[in-house]
């Protein structure tokens, strides 16, 4: 029986005890660890460090996938906390910045974008999260609710929610070290970040719902990325439950 691509991927990216990858890494070829938008308008975000939240046990019990949202704007301070909690900078050790979600080899191939529909003190549009400085970088202004809803298989929650977080991967950032096995780690990294987001939203009394049912090329086009060196993986709506 001919195997499908998913099965082949799983089999062809296995590690075997006597056939492990060998060779030295080319440090000069290492991709840049951060994506930035030089010249973009920067929006500094409120400091998320002192938010008080319920216990983890309570959050785990209360987390739900919410698909209906009230027409209530999202506070910029809440968006700031969500971005930090899901994948922001946590600490610096030996000159290296570590984040709130684990990443294979601490390579952090995941980039975060925000579609702000109704966020207080923030113009509607597409933003990139600059994790190093904890700020937003404006990519494009406008109301993209129709486009993202169509790209997400017409799921109405994408039109209702005041904000959507979208996670892409810069593939070479991980493949530089792990080769074809990197794709396994990249998907795991995105899952770690999404779970952090879901718990952080619950902590703020907000709802979220993670979405992987999407037309990749349509979302990539909306994000102004090529889908090859960087491509969409996952996204989440967030807002006040309706």
pLDDT 10s digits, 41-52: 999 999 998 889
Through-space distance between the first and last CA atoms of the chain, rounded to whole angstroms: 48
Has residue 32 been placed in a domain?
A: no
Q: What is the mean pLDDT of residues 175-191?
A: 96
Please give the pLDDT value at position 188.
98
**Contact in structure between 201 and 130 (CB atoms under 8 Å):** no
Has residue 42 been placed in a domain?
A: no
pLDDT one-digit tens code per residue, 54-76: 999 999 999 999 999 999 999 99
Has residue 165 been placed in a domain?
A: yes
pLDDT one-digit tens code per residue, 219-230: 999 999 999 999
Cα–Cα distance, 235 to 230 (Å, whole number):
15
Q: Which two tokens stand for residue 127?
A: 């933003």
Please give the pLDDT value at position 3.
83
Q: Which two tokens stand for residue 123?
A: 């113009």
DSSP category for residue 148: H
Has residue 121 been placed in a domain?
A: yes
Q: Which two tokens stand for residue 37?
A: 């938008």
pLDDT one-digit tens code per residue, 100-146: 999 999 999 999 999 999 999 999 999 999 999 999 999 999 999 99
Has residue 158 been placed in a domain?
A: yes
* Residue 204 structural domain: 61-239
Structurally, the chain folds into a number of domains equal to: 1
Has residue 7 been placed in a domain?
A: no
Quick count: other Cβ atoms within 10 Å of Cβ 25? 9
If DSSP codes are grouped into helix, strand and coil, which group holds residue 85? helix
Q: Residue 159 burial (CB < 10 Å; 0-12/13-18/19+)? A: middle
Q: What is the mean pLDDT of residues 178-201?
A: 97
What is the signed CA dihedral for 85, 163, 212, 137, rounded to 10 degrees?
-70
Q: Which two tokens stand for residue 196?
A: 């952090």
Please give the pLDDT value at position 21.
81
Please give the pLDDT value at position 1.
57
Please give the pLDDT value at position 20.
84
Please give the pLDDT value at position 60.
95
Tokens 């983890």 found at? 56
CATH number of the CATH domain containing 170: 3.40.109.10
Confidence of residue 169 (pLDDT cuts 50, 70, 90): very high
Q: Which two tokens stand for residue 122?
A: 């923030």
Has residue 66 been placed in a domain?
A: yes
Has residue 77 been placed in a domain?
A: yes
235: CB partners within 8 A, 6+ apart? 152, 164, 165, 166, 167, 210, 211, 212, 214, 219
In whole angstroms, how far apart are CA 140 and each of 20, 70, 215, 220, 235?
Answer: 44, 25, 20, 14, 18
């Amino acid at each position: 029986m001919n195997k499908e691509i998913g099965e082949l991927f799983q089999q062809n990216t296995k590690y075997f005890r006597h056939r492990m990858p060998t060779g030295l890494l080319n440090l000069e070829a290492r991709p840049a660890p951060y994506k930035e938008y030089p010249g973009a308008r920067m929006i500094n975000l409120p400091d998320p460090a002192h938010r008080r939240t319920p216990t983890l046990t309570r959050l785990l019990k209360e987390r739900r996938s919410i698909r209906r949202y009230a027409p209530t704007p999202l506070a910029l301070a809440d968006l700031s906390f969500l971005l930090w909690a899901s994948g922001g900078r946590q600490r610096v050790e030996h000159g290296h910045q570590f984040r709130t979600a684990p990443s294979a080899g601490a390579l952090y191939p995941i980039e975060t974008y925000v579609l702000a529909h109704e966020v207080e003190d923030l113009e509607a549009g597409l933003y990139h999260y600059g994790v190093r400085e904890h700020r937003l970088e404006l990519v494009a202004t406008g109301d993209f609710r129709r486009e993202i809803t169509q790209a997400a298989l017409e799921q109405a929650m994408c039109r209702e929610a005041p904000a959507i977080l979208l996670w892409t991967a810069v593939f070479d950032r991980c493949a530089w070290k792990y080769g074809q096995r990197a794709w396994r780690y990249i998907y795991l990294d995105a899952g770690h970040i999404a779970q952090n987001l879901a718990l952080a939203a619950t902590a703020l009394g907000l709802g979220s719902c993670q979405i992987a049912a999407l037309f990749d090329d349509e979302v990539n086009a909306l994000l102004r990325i090529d889908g090859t060196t960087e491509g969409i993986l996952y996204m989440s709506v967030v807002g006040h439950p309706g």
